[in-house]
Amino acid sequence: MIQLIILPILQIVVIVGLSPLVKGFINKTEARFQCRRGPSLFQPYYNLTKLLRKDAVVSETASWIFRATPYVTFISILIIALLVPVLSSTVPANFTGDVILVIYLFALGRFFLVLSSLDTGSAFGGIGGSREMAISSMAEPAMMLSVFTVAIISGSTNLSNITQAMLSYKLLSPALFLALAALVIVIIAEAGRIPVDNPFTHLELTMIHEGMILEFSGRYLALIEWASCMKLLILLTILVNTFLPWGVASGLTFPGLIISFAFYVVKIGFFALLIAIVESSFAKVRLFRIPNLLGTSFILAVLAIITHYIVS
Amino acid sequence: MVEHLFIISIILFAAGSLFALCFYRWQMLGNYISLILAAIASCFNIAIATSVLFNHSAIRFNFLLYHAIIKYSFLIDSLSAIFILAISVVSFIASIYSLGYTKLYVNKRDTRFLGFNFNFFLLSMILVVTANNALVFMIVWELMTLVSFFLVIFEYENPLNRKAGFVYLFMSYICAVFISVAFFIMFSYVKTWTFDFDSFRYAGDVMPAICKNIVFFLVLIGFGIKAGIFPLHLWLPLAHPAAPGNVSMVMSGVMIKTAIYGFIRFYFEFLTPCPPWWGVIILIIGAASAILGILYALMEKDIKTLLAYSSVENIGIILIAIGLSMIFKSYNLMALSSLAMVAGLYHVLNHAVFKSLLFGCAGNIYYSTHTKNIEQLGGLIKRLQITAPLFLVGALAISAIPPLNGFMSEWLVFQSLLNGSNIPSVIVKVLTAICGATVALTGALVATCFVKAFGISFLALPRSEHAQHAKEVPVIMYVSMGLLAGLCVFMGLFPVKIMMTVNHASTELLGVNIAKAITSYDWLQTKTLQTNFSEISPQSATVFGLMFLAITVGAMTLINPGFTKKLYETWTCGISPEPRFGYTATAFSKPFRIIFSNLYRPRLEIKTTYSVPKYFVKSIMYISEITPIFEKYFYAPLSRYVLSISNKVRWIHTGSVHMYLVYIFITLLISMLAIRW
């Protein structure tokens, strides 16, 4: 009962509800680093409510793909939210799928987003879409290899089982540490943060994600913005709850979930802070240097799996 | 009963061929009759395949017209049945699709030979996967090659098509040579002195290791040419685009799978105790084909060439699964071997379905726009309103996007690769993991490639007159494609059904039934797929998706009930939008051309012509192309070398019959002496 009804709702609420806050937190922290006061922590919520209430302007050139994309992106992320252990190592939709499904559901959202960027016939969309595909293609092998490492160590690709297995480890083994490092780079690339993509830019030649969503407005834009906030939070959740599952409740008791929530907020806060620090202290890398960065991540992942095989 | 069905289907195919030839005045009528007969025969074959698979009874029969050596014997076991199933489903749909597609040729060319060859082509594929005798196999294999060659050069006026046909025929003969030598070597060790496959089944036990290795490589090259593995893929991107749309659908969808069938027959039945390194070689070749195939597909502008290269990639994925199955088998991990085999065969079926769908939709595009160059298209989603979503389904399926069928087989491949951790050898373990990364990279590149193929040809504004005035194709063409799209969804949503079907073949091949081990029940109490690593239920993911869709749409309406959409032109910095502002295929793949510049070696040439004073540019010519390294550094030197050798030995070709008689006599003498010793 709890597993089938309350836990899914709880997870959706946490992911959907907290994700704009993570964005607000990162923005605020970065503003502080730049000695600005910055927008309020809740600014992303204000933006979303404003957008949701507005009407939309849609390009004449665009087809039904353009109007379907926000829903496809948003819903694919919502399904992922059910597959990821957030508060408890028990996952609501455990039987539905594993981390491979998660990766390919991200691909579903991306597929439609890039199609819609081509749909309006503007060159900016194409620039963004083509770069997005290039970067995500480069990120994919490193991501899959680090997932392989974790899966082989824990004996499962199911995120809930991975978390349960990791709970029994006290310290990160060298293989896991390398995989973690690889995954951090991949997550930065996937979430479109500096040094791979600058989420604040609106300069034509540097846009990636922003370029793709340039033509969206109103509720369409709100859904896509929200989905991208959720994507960041979900990626961070996967990171913290598989590699550092401290405090994750293994059962489904009420106090356990509360403690778990506190730990979760602290861990996510820490990684959000880390992203803010990285974004404040690095410049965006030139587009064709990004393969080098992701290549580094791939090498780390290869080392991770070799280390695991040699050590064990 | 089933035997009779098989014979009836052969007769129907043959009758179809003859009907197509008979009608000269009413060519279309003859064509329709022959295509309908082919469709009916394919239905019969589907029935045969399902009956063999679910009754667990192999069917064998010998035709009476045999003499000493060639016995026309055929056997339909469950492996054959899987391939018959794939071939017949695609044949059926291709036949009814052709009813519409052949209208393209009305009053333009003689379609009699199209119908004639098409029927024989479908028949020969069925015979290839059922032949139970090496000589019969070679005969029908050659028939398949020859007939498909005639289909490739159907539009023979175009010199490119003739060249494609020549390359195809040439490479197919090399392929036939290798396979027949392999058969002869095996024949010399089988002491029964027959070419029956039944006696070859134990050849692996009696052959010395060195001979087995030689046969392994002969088969690898022989069937590799037909399958289109790198670097033997040369004919594939030439021949598939040259053939008419309905034919390339069959060629790419299923004909190249007959080579996969050959691989499985040889490596899992004939040469059976095989060393691990064979599997490793297949695995590496599979990974290389996958990655290189899709990288070249990414650069293509011709939609059919793009699809042909993507076939190379899918053959790569299938070979990864089969190589893995061989590795597991040689380490005696039979259950895992069976899992990998299921993944491979699942992908065989999937690729047959979505690749035919994509080729069919490419045919639809060609039918209505008369161009295959995607740079000339654009905006088709508003003109081909039914073809567009069908192509999208195919594109999503081939990119392994859940919940379509490509994802399920890719998932199984990943699960098999993960199980590589059970292999004792560390190097092979690491290799399987890196293969996993390769498959992931391939998957992402496939998505890019098909985003490009769909986005550039269907979205934005039309870039040419042809695309501007495109009209939807005849009903039968999109209805048949709709069937395939439906299959894509069905095979993605109900993986257990497909898995159970292919499991019959892997059980028979490997002797381990994993049906129980890889199914479980989900919350909807429907059967789902599971492995020792994980479980997956695409149905429940879809149900969740639909639930969320309802909630999201509901919430959106609640928040802003009076939502209106205002249509306005795309912002193009103040000027009105034009087709040339949109991204092109070349531009879309530019980042990859830079990232993989070591492989592509792109060449860029910009020629600017000025008018008399040097300040005004008259015209700019921009040429950007990639270097086809395999053609340039492997095939070109090879063909030069072969030509120079032939030049040197041409003196023996005197043209005199007497000399040739002497040669024959000498050959006879030498072979008799050779046998004597």
Edge-first strand listing for the sheet containing B519-521: B519-521, B527-530, B535-536
Per residue, what are the HEC states of B289-310?
A: HHHHHHHHHHHCCEHHHHHHHH
Of A29-43, A248-262, B149-163, B304-318, the range with the lowest mean pLDDT is: A248-262
Predicted TM-score of the model (pTM): 0.95
Task: Report how far apart, in Å, the C-alpha atoms of B579 and of each of B323, B326, B465 are.
Answer: 47, 51, 11
Distance (Å, whole) CA B630 – CA B439: 22
What is the rounded CA–CA span in Å between residue B414 and residue A65?
A: 30
Q: Mean pLDDT, to the nearest integer, of B175-201?
A: 87
Judge whether B367 and B298 are in contact, CB under 8 Å. no
The average pLDDT across B130-158 equals 92
Tell me if B651 is assigned to some domain.
Answer: yes
What does the block give as tokens for B665? 């006599």
Q: Residue B213 above 60 pLDDT?
A: yes
Mean pLDDT of A106-118: 94
On whether the CB atoms of residues A201 and A210 are closer than 8 A, the answer is yes
The CA distance from B518 to the nearest CA of chain A, in Å, is: 13
pLDDT at A166 over 90: no
Q: Which of B382, B450, B583 to mutate to test the interface with A (most CBs of A within 10 A)?
A: B583
Write out pLDDT tens, residues B600-616.
Answer: 888 888 888 888 777 78
H or E segment to which residue B212 belongs: helix B209-227
- Beta carbons of A137 and B568 less than 8 Å apart: no
Angle of helix A174-190 relative to helix A218-243, nearest 10 degrees, comes to 170
- A296 pLDDT band, cuts 50/70/90, is very high
φ, ψ at B514 (rounded to 5°):
-105, 15
Residues sharing a CB contact under 8 Å with residue A139, sequence separation 6 or more, in sequence order: A186, A189, A190, A294, A297, B444
Tally: H helices and E strands in chain B: 28, 8
Q: Is residue B612 part of a domain?
A: yes
> Is residue A43 over pLDDT 70?
yes
Q: Is B628 exposed, middle or buried (0-12, 13-18, 19+ CB in 10 A)?
A: middle
Residue B204 lies in a domain: no
> Over 90: is that where the pLDDT of B390 sits?
yes
Query: Other C-beta atoms within 10 Å of A103: how many?
Result: 19
Look at the block and give the residue holding tokens 């056997």. Answer: B75
Of the candidates B66, B382, B113, the residue with the CA atom closest to the CA atom of residue A63: B382
Rounded Cα gap, residues B112 and A102, in angstroms: 51
Task: Return the closest-CA partner of residue B489 out of B410, B409, B412, B397.
Answer: B397
Average pLDDT of span B556-568: 90
Residue A32: the pLDDT is: 93
Give the residue from B604, B625, B646 where a domain finishes: B625
Residue-wise burial string across A45-68, b where 16 or more C-beta atoms lie within 10 A, e elsewhere: eebbeebbeeebbbbebbbebbbe
- Residue A203, pLDDT above cutoff 80: no
CB count, 10 Å around CB of A155? 14
**Tokens 């070696």 found at:** B601
Is A169 a residue whose pLDDT tops 70?
A: yes
C-alpha dihedral, B667 to B672 to B674 to B677, nearest 10° = -160
| pLDDT tens, position by position, B110-136 | 888 888 999 999 999 999 999 988 989
Looking at residue B547, what is its pLDDT? 93
Could you read off the pLDDT of B629-643 as tens digits, one per residue?
888 898 999 999 999
Residue B659 belongs to some domain of the structure:
yes
Out of A98, A136, A214, whose CB is closest to B444? A136
Q: Which of residues 262-281 of A touch B (CB under 8 A)?
A: none
**Element holding B103 (H helix, E strand):** none
pLDDT at residue A234, rounded to an integer: 95
Residue A171, pLDDT above cutoff 80: no
Domain of B614, in residue numbers = 596-625
Q: A63-72, A198-207, A220-229: which has the minimum mean pLDDT?
A: A198-207
In a domain, B47, yes or no: no
DSSP B234: T
Terminal C-alpha separation, chain B:
50
Question: Does the complex come out with an ipTM higher than 0.85?
Answer: yes
Give B250-303 pLDDT, tens digit per residue. 999 999 999 999 999 999 988 888 899 999 999 999 999 999 999 999 999 999
Residue B608 and residue B643 share a domain = no
Chain A residue numbers touching B402 (CB-CB < 8 A): 97, 101, 104-105, 108
Q: Which residues pair with B59 in a beta bridge?
A: B76
Indicate the residue of A100, A118, A149 with minimum beta-carbon distance to B414. Answer: A100
More confident residue, A267 or B21: A267
Question: How many Å apart are CA B553 and CA B597, to the nearest integer?
Answer: 45
The single-letter DSSP state of residue B469 is T
B92: tokens are 């059926």
Whether the CB of A45 is below 8 Å from some CB of chain B: the reply is no
B536 CB-contact burial (10 Å; exposed 0-12 / middle 13-18 / buried 19+): buried
**A157–B533 CB contact, under 8 Å:** yes
Domain boundaries, chain A: 2-311
* B324: pLDDT strictly greater than 90: yes
**What's the token pair of residue B463?**
């870039």
Element (H, E) at B619: strand B617-625
Q: Which of B452, B454, B595 is best to mutate for the A interface (most A CBs within 10 A)? A: B595
d(CA B298, CA B309): 9
Q: Note the pLDDT tens digit of each residue in B27-68.
A: 888 889 999 999 999 999 999 999 998 888 888 887 766 555
Which band of pLDDT confidence, cut at 50, 70 and 90, is reported for residue B526? low
What is the rounded distance in angstroms from the CA atom of residue B279 to the CA atom of residue B427? Answer: 13
Give yes or no for residue A231 having a pLDDT over 90.
yes
Angle at CA of residue B65, ends B62 and B7, nearest 5°: 50
Task: Tell me the per-residue pLDDT of A73-99, one tens digit each, with 9 for 90 and over.
Answer: 999 999 999 999 988 888 777 778 889
Report the alpha-carbon distance of residue B665 to residue B662 in Å, rounded.
Answer: 5
A96·B536 Cβ contact <8 A:
yes
Report which DSSP code applies to B131.
B
Contact map slice: A 75-114 vs B, CB within 8 A: 75-76, 78-79, 82, 93, 95-98, 100-101, 103-105, 107-108, 110-111, 114
pLDDT (0 to 100) of residue A275? 93
The pLDDT of residue B522 is above 70: no
| pLDDT for residue B65 | 62
Quick check: B514 pLDDT over 70? yes
DSSP letter at B380 equals G
Angle ∠(B601,A134,B462) on CA atoms, nearest 5: 90
| B456 Cα to chain A: minimum distance (Å) | 7
Give the one of B414, B437, B570 whose C-beta lies nearest to A215's C-beta: B570
Half-sphere exposure of B295 (CA within 13 A, CB side): 26
Tokens for B301?
A: 């502008």
Identify the three-state secondary structure at position B623.
strand
| Residue A59 near residue B568 (C-beta atoms within 8 A) | yes
* Tokens 């964005």, located at residue: A23
Query: What mean pLDDT do residues B533-551 have?
Result: 90
Residue B527 has pLDDT above 80, yes or no: no
Give the 3-state secondary structure of residue B536. strand
- pLDDT, mean of residues A139-154: 91
Residue B638 shares a structural domain with residue B667: yes
pLDDT classification of A3: cutoffs 50, 70, 90:
low
Hey, is B521 helix, strand or coil? strand
pLDDT reading at A257 higher than 90:
no
* Predicted local confidence at residue A283, as pLDDT: 87
Number of domains in chain B: 2
Percent of the residues in chain B that have a pLDDT greater than 90, as a whole number: 62
DSSP one-letter code for B419: G
The pLDDT of residue B69: 59
Specify the DSSP element, H or E, that contains B624: strand B617-625
Could you give the residue ranges of the DSSP H alpha helices within B2-77?
A: 2-22, 27-55
Asked if A78 lies within 8 A of B451 by C-beta distance, the reply is no
Report CB contact under 8 Å: A95, B540: yes
Look at A145 and B436 and tell me if their CB atoms are within 8 Å. yes
- Please tell me the distance from the alpha carbon of residue A257 to that of residue A235, in angstroms, as a whole number: 21
**Interface contact flag, B411 A100, Cβ < 8 Å:** yes
Give the H/E segment covering residue B609: strand B603-610
Yes or no: say if B252 and B355 are a contact pair by the CB < 8 Å rule.
yes
Contact A79 B548 (CB under 8 A): yes
Angle at A196 between CA A192 and CA A198, to 5 degrees: 65
pLDDT in the model for residue B641: 94
Assess whether B621 and B641 both reside in one domain: no
Residues 6+ apart with CB under 8 A from B327: B276, B279, B280, B283, B420, B423, B428, B432
Q: What are phi and psi of A87, to 5 degrees?
A: -105, -35
Whether pLDDT at B578 is above 90: no
**Contact between B577 and A127 using a beta-carbon 8 Å cutoff:** no
Instruction: Work out the pLDDT band at A106, boundaries 50, 70, 90.
Output: very high
pLDDT given at position B130? 93
* Distance, CA of B18 to CA of B30 (rounded, Å): 9
Show Cβ contacts of residue B573 under 8 Å, excluding neighbours closer than 6 positions. Answer: none
> How far is B318 from B341, CA to CA, in rounded Å?
9
How far is residue B70's CA from residue A221's CA, in Å, rounded to a whole number?
A: 70
Which of A187-201, B18-32, B551-565 ranks highest by mean pLDDT? B551-565
Given A101, A121, A131, which is nearest B581 (Cβ)? A121
Report yes or no: A291 and A138 within 8 Å, Cβ to Cβ: yes
A215–B430 CB contact, under 8 Å: no
CA distance B61 to B454: 47
**pLDDT score at A252:** 75
Residue in B with minimal Cα distance to A308: B430
- Rama region for B58: left / alpha / beta (φ>0; ψ in -120 to 50; rest): beta
Contacts of B517 (CB under 8 A, 6+ apart): B335, B532
Helical residues (DSSP H) of chain A, grouped into ranges: 7-33, 43-53, 64-83, 99-119, 123-154, 159-167, 174-190, 209-212, 218-243, 254-281, 290-311
pLDDT score for B111: 82
Nearest-Cα distance to chain A for B402, in Å, is 7
Contact A125 B583 (CB under 8 A): yes
At residue B201, the 3 state secondary structure works out as: coil
* Total count of residues recorded for chain B: 677
Average pLDDT over residues A129-141: 92
- Determine what percent of chain A is predicted with pLDDT higher than 70: 98
Backbone φ and ψ of B582, nearest 5°: -70, 160
- Please give the average per-residue pLDDT across B486-509, as a whole number: 90
CB neighbours (10 Å) of residue A204? 14
